[in-house]
Amino acid sequence: MEPIGAVTKRREMLASLLGGAAASQLLACRRAPDEPESIDGRLGAPDHAFGHRLRDGLHLEEWDDVPEERTRVAIIGGGVAGLAAGWRLRTRGISGVRLYEMESSVGGTARSGQNRHVAFPLGAHYLPLPRRDDRVLRGFLDSMGALEDDEGAEHVLVREPDERVFYRGYWYRGLYPYAGASNEDLAELARFEGEMLRFAQSRGEDGKPAFTLPSRECSTDPRFIELDAIDAETYLAREGYRTARLRWLCDYATRDDYGLALSEASAWALVFYWAARIHEGAEETSEVLTWPSGNAALARALAEPLRGRIDTNVMAVDVRQQAGEVRILLLTPGGARRRVIADRAVLAMPKFIASKIARRAKLPDIGEPTYGPWWVANLHLASRPRGRGEVLAWDNVIYDSPSLGYVTATHQTGRDSGPTVLTYYFPMTGDVSEARQRLMDAELETLQTACLTDLSAPHPELVSRLERLDVWRWGHAMAQPRPGFLQEGARFSAGKASGRIHFAHSDLSGLALFEEAFHHGVRAADEIADAV
Amino acid sequence: MTDADTPEPGSAKPSGTDSDVAASAADGRPRLPTPLLYLTVLIIATSGLVYELLAGTLASYVLGDSVLQFSTTIGAYLFAMGIGSYLSRFVGNDVARRFLEVELAAALAGGLSAPLLFLGFAYADFFSVLLYGTIGLVGILVGLEVPLLMRILREHLAFEELVARVLTFDYIGALVGSLLFAIVLVPTLGLNRTALLFGMLNAAVAFGGTFILAPLLRRRERTRLRLGALLIGGVLLAGFAQADAITDYAEEGLYSEPVVFSQQTPYQRIVVTGGQTGVQLFLNGNLQFAQHDEYRYHEALVHPAFAAAQEPSRVLVLGGGDGLALREIWKHPGVESATLVDLDPAMTEMASRLPPLVALNAQAFEDPRLTVVHEDALVWLDEESRGPFDVIVVDFPDPNNFSLGKLYTRRFYRLVRGALADGGTLVVQSTSPLYARQSFWCVDRTMREAGLHTHPYHATVPSFGEWGFVLAQKTPFDPPSRLTTAGLRFLDDRTLERMFEFPPDMARVAVEPNRLNDQRLVRYYEAEWSRLAP
């Protein structure tokens, strides 16, 4: 039995992380978990101490004695966009490419961890099979063995059972909770799906598809762009969608892809979530590719042709174009200085960092995007959790939870018993800077408690199987597509180079998806390859 | 326990209780020790959840490990609890007496539920009627408990306090129950004793309740209830002492032969019976072989593959932890090495130690040419490149869930193909082409999709009925017509040739292949076998 004091303490902890109302909501519909003294774990994050040196002043004269290194193309930033730029340059036969990464490993939000049993994602973890005419991305996937006969390779497509949802005490197949759904619920779902299918099959006056990936190939027809003027909640109300289940599904969608609540996301982005994943001529959303390590497998394959050409633990502190070349100043965590002179550079980083490094460059005209905070928990388990209803799936979603549920790392390996790692995702919605502050102030124990409180509803016995619980904090996980982010379609052409400095990042699209980062990397690489 | 006729001054009570009691005393109502009532809620909730888990576990244990079984029993149980809650409104003013009577009935019905169902499955014709009848009865009684108790407590607490506290203890009890059930009770006590123990706990609650709720009961009622509680507790205690005898009696009825070995492993429940007709092996209640005709199955599984292969010397067995396929393999003197991959160490351990099995598989595990690996076959093949093998025998249980279904996918057969030597032969046990025609042809279609050339065949195994296999190689080949070993009991050259002919009722049907990302075979299989289920 639990003393009242422990309950109060938990409430306070959760309130400090989530705010009072959300904390009460989480506690109200969950059983109190059995709390052991403390759980092993580690609190990780991108290296902020290092990153924050950018805020300190820079004394350029101190760099004068540093010897110059020369390279043809310098890529700064080893997230998906930077890696894709490097991959594209190498496959187009451009030599003299070097990539500089601030962290100790590349991959950005597509990084992974590994224990003695299995690899597991720390961030992004799947990729919908791209449409057939996306030759570049398909070509890359084929080269890494993710396709067979122009279809998703069987072992890379998500294995059955792919998805289940925990609704009122039971796990059900799929994402939408069909159990107990009324005729009105089902009719509304069918109407919504039909509407999304129509959007997926529509083209604008300009002949372009209304919604497709990458987003810069979407139509700028005002018929579709006008959706960006309102938020997703207003859109649902305007179209007469009323049922709680459909609203939950849509709210899950915007939190899942964008880290935004329904009321915060652009309605265009909500429709994009569904419509862009239905390929032309198809009736259903495309199949999904995944790996035990999540999208880290994609990042690793992109990095392959750059082997020996990646420097980690080096942070660019100044990038400027001067006399027909790009001069880059780099700093290591130990304080060592490096000077790189390149013909061209790719700034593969979000705008809020680029603006601090390339002060004189003309930065992409995307306004000032907000970047949402997320946290991701890796639960290392000695054995699989039990649950009532449908068996453990790859993606396991909890209805009415502020989290996105969890994915099972061993699912794709075929190992159906014994130890596993569950990766639990939690986007912090609401006021961005306030939420980020709460996240950064939170202690490991608070985040662990929030995760276990949430998961105690489907898995009351989870703690007894838990070996450790690590939490990874992403302070600036992704640029957010809030209403107006398309700038009336101007977004689709964002990313123009500033002389010899090129830009590649998913925040140019405002949609933090692998496909967007990849295509911006490829575009930047093509600009360079075409120019040289 | 304190007799509430002479209440003690509130000493060791949590904060808040004193004022509750004071409030109720002020308006002249009898005082009740509320902490003890919360303890009652806790015990009731714990035992309620344990009964629920018992019913689900038992149903999936005796009826097979299908998700459907667990979901429907638990669904029915919760529904019955709902009925119980509804019925509580018809209880009049004598709430306390009724509550204790319900408690006694729950003790009896819940406590006897597991033994009753075990015996019922073994000896009753209409098991599902009994199953859902028991679930319904226990569910209704448990569903009555909390509403009645809340009505008793209503006199002593404000509504919001009442709901908050009772539900808190209810949920904590559920947590305690689920943890206890999985971690302590089932492993140490088993299902029967767990049920009986919680029945006794319920009886103890009723007995204690006659003291706690004494102010609300007449003297004669108290005496009657106490006698009832003692009687029921005694019956359950006797059952508890005799639980092993009940289990043996039930399991023997269940398996129709004496059980000589049974073990619950992390992967499955293994039961071996032995009697007049010989040894039988059951996994999760499904018959794997019966001694009197298993030679038909294992001769048909192994020897055609050897007959079709060229000078086979390196052999791989996937599944087949009972060692019976191995016994047939060792009949070929050309075999230089064999590797057996079976997920469950308990299975090979048993097959190499348990005397009747060791006799049946002719000490197959003693052979120095054998290497045993305990690993999921898909993971083992995927980890690194294996082989090459001249003969690969794939002998898994039927694809009745996704974990087994993945071992029948195109991906799996591609991996197996990669481990096959040039000219090597693969054989797959592939369920019944008569009872599960689509499933059988789905296996064949899937193997073809994986780039294999196949010859399906079938044999009659009376314990199973008409059974199917698929023979395959990497390049086109003719079905074998001459056996390479003599002295078999079932197969000769004429029988071998005829196995490859399919009469119209088992002929090929159009089906989709089975892939990891759709697992169509599991759905074919469930649909086909559920049509045959009683």
pLDDT of residue B273 exceeding 90:
no
Choice between B473 and B9, residue whose per-residue pLDDT is larger: B473
Query: Across residues B37-58, what is the average pLDDT?
Result: 84
Cα-to-chain-centroid distance, residue A381: 24
Instruction: Annotate A478-499 with DSSP letters as a single string.
Output: EE---TTTTGGGGGGG----BT
pLDDT for position A316: 92
Query: Across residues A113-129, what is the average pLDDT?
Result: 94
Query: Across residues B274-279, what is the average pLDDT?
Result: 79
Range in A207-216, B78-87, B243-252, B507-516 with the lowest mean pLDDT: B243-252
B79 touches chain A (CB under 8 A): no
How many Cβ atoms are within 10 Å of B373's Cβ, its own excluded?
15
Question: Quick one: closest CA in B to A179, which residue?
Answer: B75
For residue B379, the chain A residues in CB contact (below 8 A) are 413-415
How far, in Å, CA of A24 to CA of B526, rounded? Answer: 43
B509 touches chain A (CB under 8 A): no
pLDDT of residue B188 exceeding 90:
no
pLDDT for position A366: 92
Distances (CA, A) of B490 to A63, B301, B333, B394, B497: 88, 12, 20, 20, 13
DSSP state of A463: H
Burial of B108 (0-12, 13-18, 19+ CB in 10 A): buried
Nearest to A31 among B175, B517, B518 (CB): B175
**Whole-number percent of chain B with pLDDT over 90:** 48
CA distance B376 to chain A (A): 7
pLDDT for position B31: 67
Contact status, residue B97 vs residue B104, Cβ threshold 8 Å: no
Q: Which two tokens stand for residue A255?
A: 């939190």
Question: Quick one: closest CA in B to A458, which residue?
Answer: B175
Nearest to A390 among B67, B78, B516 (CB): B67
Mean of per-residue pLDDT scores for chain B: 86
Q: Identify the CA nearest to B161 among candidates B37, B298, B49, B245.
A: B37
pLDDT for position B242: 81
pLDDT of residue A32 exceeding 70:
no
Q: Which two tokens stand for residue A45?
A: 């994050």
Query: Across residues B85-94, what is the average pLDDT?
Result: 87
pLDDT for position B18: 38
First to last CA, chain A: 72
pLDDT of residue B129 exceeding 90:
no
Query: Across residues B344-364, what is the average pLDDT?
Result: 93
CA distance A3 to chain B (A): 10
A469-496 pLDDT, tens per residue? Answer: 999 999 999 999 999 999 988 899 988 8
Substitution target in A166, A285, A416, A459 with the highest count of B β-carbons within 10 Å is: A416
Mean of per-residue pLDDT scores for chain A: 91
Backbone angles phi, psi at A280, to 5 degrees: -55, 130
pLDDT of residue A333 exceeding 70:
yes
Confidence of residue A1 (pLDDT cuts 50, 70, 90): very low
Choice between A107 and B63, residue whose per-residue pLDDT is larger: A107
pLDDT for position B277: 75
Q: Which two tokens stand for residue B370?
A: 């054998």
List residues bridging with B426 in a β-sheet.
B392, B472
Q: Please count the residue pairs, one from chain A and one from chain B, whose beta carbons lie less than 8 angstroms apart.
A: 92
A180 touches chain B (CB under 8 A): no
pLDDT for position A52: 59
Question: Quick one: closest CA in B to A416, which residue?
Answer: B403
Residues 184-213 of B with CB under 8 A from A: none
Query: Across residues A245-256, what is the average pLDDT?
Result: 96
pLDDT of residue B67 exceeding 70:
no
A417-461 pLDDT, tens per residue? Answer: 899 999 999 999 999 999 999 999 999 999 999 999 999 889 988
Contact status, residue B468 vs residue B509, Cβ threshold 8 Å: no
pLDDT for position A472: 95
Burial of A436 (0-12, 13-18, 19+ CB in 10 A): buried
Query: Across residues A290-317, what is the average pLDDT?
Result: 96
A28 touches chain B (CB under 8 A): no
B238 touches chain A (CB under 8 A): no
Q: CB–CB of B376 and A461 under 8 A? A: no
Question: Quick one: closest CA in B to A171, which residue?
Answer: B71
How far, in Å, CA of B401 to CA of A390, rounded? Answer: 11
A496-522 pLDDT, tens per residue? Answer: 899 999 999 999 999 999 999 999 999
Confidence of residue B7 (pLDDT cuts 50, 70, 90): very low
pLDDT for position A214: 95
Question: Quick one: closest CA in A to B410, which residue?
Answer: A154
Q: CB–CB of B74 and A388 under 8 A? A: yes
How far, in Å, CA of A161 to CA of A174, rounded? Answer: 9
Query: Across residues A385-401, what is the average pLDDT?
Result: 92
Question: Quick one: closest CA in A to B514, which residue?
Answer: A154
The residue whose two tokens read 């999208």 is: A295
Substitution target in A4, A31, A160 with the highest count of B β-carbons within 10 Å is: A160
B171 touches chain A (CB under 8 A): yes
pLDDT for position B122: 61
pLDDT of residue B178 exceeding 70:
yes
A43-70 pLDDT, tens per residue? Answer: 988 765 555 565 555 677 778 888 999 9
Q: CB–CB of B378 and A414 under 8 A? A: yes
Ordered strands of the A420-427 beta sheet: A43-44, A466-479, A371-381, A420-427, A406-408, A395-398, A163-167, A170-173
Q: CB–CB of A460 and B518 under 8 A? A: no
For residue B68, the chain A residues in CB contact (below 8 A) are none
Please tell me the pTM assigned to this model: 0.74
A417 touches chain B (CB under 8 A): yes
Note the helical H segments in A19-144. 20-28, 48-51, 80-91, 135-143
pLDDT for position B299: 97
B376 touches chain A (CB under 8 A): yes
pLDDT for position B337: 97
Question: Quick one: closest CA in B to A170, which residue?
Answer: B71
Range in A142-151, A280-289, B153-162, B200-209 with the lowest mean pLDDT: B153-162
pLDDT for position B253: 60
CA distance A522 to chain B (A): 30
ipTM over 0.85: no
Residues 368-387 of A with CB under 8 A from B: 383, 386
B384 touches chain A (CB under 8 A): no
Residues of B marked active site are found at 395
Choice between B58 and B463, residue whose per-residue pLDDT is larger: B463
Pairing verdict, β B259-264 and B269-275: antiparallel
Nearest to A461 among B75, B178, B522 (CB): B178
Query: Across residues B419-435, what is the average pLDDT?
Result: 96
A8 touches chain B (CB under 8 A): no
Confidence of residue B60 (pLDDT cuts 50, 70, 90): low
Q: CB–CB of A460 and B402 under 8 A? A: no
Note the helical H segments in B450-519. 493-498
Instruction: Annotate B357-414 with DSSP letters as a single string.
Output: HHHHTTTGGG-TTEEEE-S-HHHHHHHS----EEEEEEEPPP--SHHHHGGGSHHHHH
Choice between B95 and B319, residue whose per-residue pLDDT is larger: B319
For residue B74, the chain A residues in CB contact (below 8 A) are 170, 388
How far, in Å, CA of A141 to CA of A132, rounded? Answer: 12
Range in A121-130, A277-286, A360-369, B300-309 with the lowest mean pLDDT: A277-286
pLDDT of residue B261 exceeding 90:
no
pLDDT for position A474: 93
**Whole-number percent of chain A with pLDDT over 70:** 95
How far, in Å, CA of B322 to CA of B361, rounded? Answer: 8
3-class secondary structure for A246-294? HHHHHHHHHHHHHCCCCCCCEHHHHHHHHHCCCCCCCCCCCCEECCCCC
- What three-state secondary structure class fits B229? helix
pLDDT for position B263: 80
pLDDT for position B193: 84
Confidence of residue B6 (pLDDT cuts 50, 70, 90): very low
Contact status, residue A121 vs residue A291, Cβ threshold 8 Å: no
pLDDT for position A20: 75
pLDDT for position A124: 94
pLDDT of residue B257 exceeding 80:
no
Distances (CA, A) of A371 to A156, A249, A427, A526: 30, 23, 11, 27
Residue B456 CB partners (closer than 8 Å, separation 6+):
B430, B433, B440, B441, B444, B468, B469, B470, B471, B500, B502
pLDDT for position B4: 38
Backbone angles phi, psi at A328, to 5 degrees: -125, 130
CA distance A18 to chain B (A): 23
For residue B42, the chain A residues in CB contact (below 8 A) are 1
B445-464 pLDDT, tens per residue? Answer: 999 999 999 999 999 999 88
For residue B410, the chain A residues in CB contact (below 8 A) are 154
Q: CB–CB of A162 and B517 under 8 A? A: yes
